[in-house]
């Protein structure tokens, strides 16, 4: 065999070897990229789940408590308590004004449910809504709304809801927005639930009332 031919064969063999090596390297590079992409996807999913879990853990520390229920008969005076947040009428026409400042009169047999919201989380929560749930009739009674913040470790002033009748027993139900902009709902001490879109619209009107977002 001529020397030139040997050199040509060596060059061809070297070229083929380089091509094979390059192909193997490319294959491993693609696998490495795929593995890296999958690892990033898993890491992002794990992070999102962790953030969601931490947000829900904070929301679980926000709850409403019933302070008591006071029964008033028709024409009985209803004094205003110091430090109360609001007096909301449910059913309409159950409260009348009195000749004494800060005092109401029951226009029919009724009861007043006293509530408060406690923020046990480490984050401020924004606007909120309170409702009353009647377990016996499985009905929701609209309550009060608040446009102010509740700081960590603090509670609202007394929230009073006047409802007609004296026989029903109620469980407080609240909805609120946390500092991450997420909306939550909770009935009594049941687990927190994401708030449905229909009820989120209320918070847009509260934002306009307050003049800004959390």
Q: What are the pLDDT digits (tens) for 49-60?
A: 776 788 889 999
Closest CA to 189 of 133, 123, 125: 133
Q: What is the pLDDT of residue 153?
A: 94
In terms of DSSP H, where are the helices of the chain? 3-59, 197-210
Mean pLDDT of the chain: 77
Say if residue 72 is in the same domain as residue 144: yes
Residues 30 and 78 in one domain: no
CB 143 within 8 A of CB 161: yes
Are 76 and 170 found together in one domain? yes
Cβ distance 114 to 72 under 8 Å? Answer: no
Residues 52 and 147 in one domain: no
End-to-end CA distance of the chain: 86
With 80 as the cut, is the pLDDT of residue 117 above it? yes
Residues 124 and 160 in one domain: yes
Give the closest residue to 90 by CA, choosing from 127, 135, 138, 145.
145
- Asked which of 23-32, 81-90, 113-122, 125-134 is least confident by mean pLDDT, the reply is 81-90
Burial environment of residue 166 by CB neighbours within 10 A (0 to 12, 13 to 18, 19 or more) = middle
Place of tokens 């083929």: 16
173, 187 contact by CB (below 8 A):
yes
If one counts every other C-beta atom within 10 angstroms of the C-beta of residue 202, the result is 16
Range of the domain at 6: 1-59
Please, which pLDDT band fits residue 151 given cuts at 50, 70 and 90? very high
Domain finish residue from 59, 78, 93:
59
Asked if pLDDT for residue 101 goes beyond 90, the answer is: no
27: left (phi over 0), alpha (psi -120 to 50) or beta: alpha
The three-state secondary structure class of 152 is coil
Domain count, the chain: 2
Give the helix/strand (H/E) hosting 114.
Answer: strand 110-119
**45/91 same-domain check:** no
């Amino acid at each position: 065999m001529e020397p030139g031919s040997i050199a040509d064969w060596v060059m061809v063999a070297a070229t083929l070897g380089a091509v094979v090596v390059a192909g193997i390297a490319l294959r491993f590079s693609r696998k490495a990229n795929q593995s890296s992409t999958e690892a990033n996807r898993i890491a992002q999913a794990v992070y999102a789940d962790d953030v969601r879990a931490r947000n829900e853990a904070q929301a679980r520390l926000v709850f409403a408590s019933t302070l008591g229920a006071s029964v008033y008969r028709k024409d009985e005076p209803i004094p205003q308590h110091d430090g109360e947040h609001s007096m909301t009428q449910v059913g309409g026409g159950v409260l009348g004004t009195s000749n004494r400042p800060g005092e109401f009169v029951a226009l029919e047999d009724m009861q007043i449910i006293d509530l408060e919201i406690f923020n046990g989380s480490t984050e401020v929560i924004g606007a909120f809504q309170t409702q009353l749930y009647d377990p016996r009739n499985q009905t929701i009674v609209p309550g009060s709304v608040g446009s102010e913040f509740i700081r960590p470790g603090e509670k609202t002033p007394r929230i009073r809801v006047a409802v007609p009748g004296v026989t029903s027993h109620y469980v407080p139900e609240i909805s609120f927005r946390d500092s991450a902009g997420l909306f939550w709902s909770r009935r009594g001490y049941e687990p927190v639930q994401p708030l449905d879109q229909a009820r989120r619209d209320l918070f847009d009107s509260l934002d306009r009332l307050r003049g800004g977002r959390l």
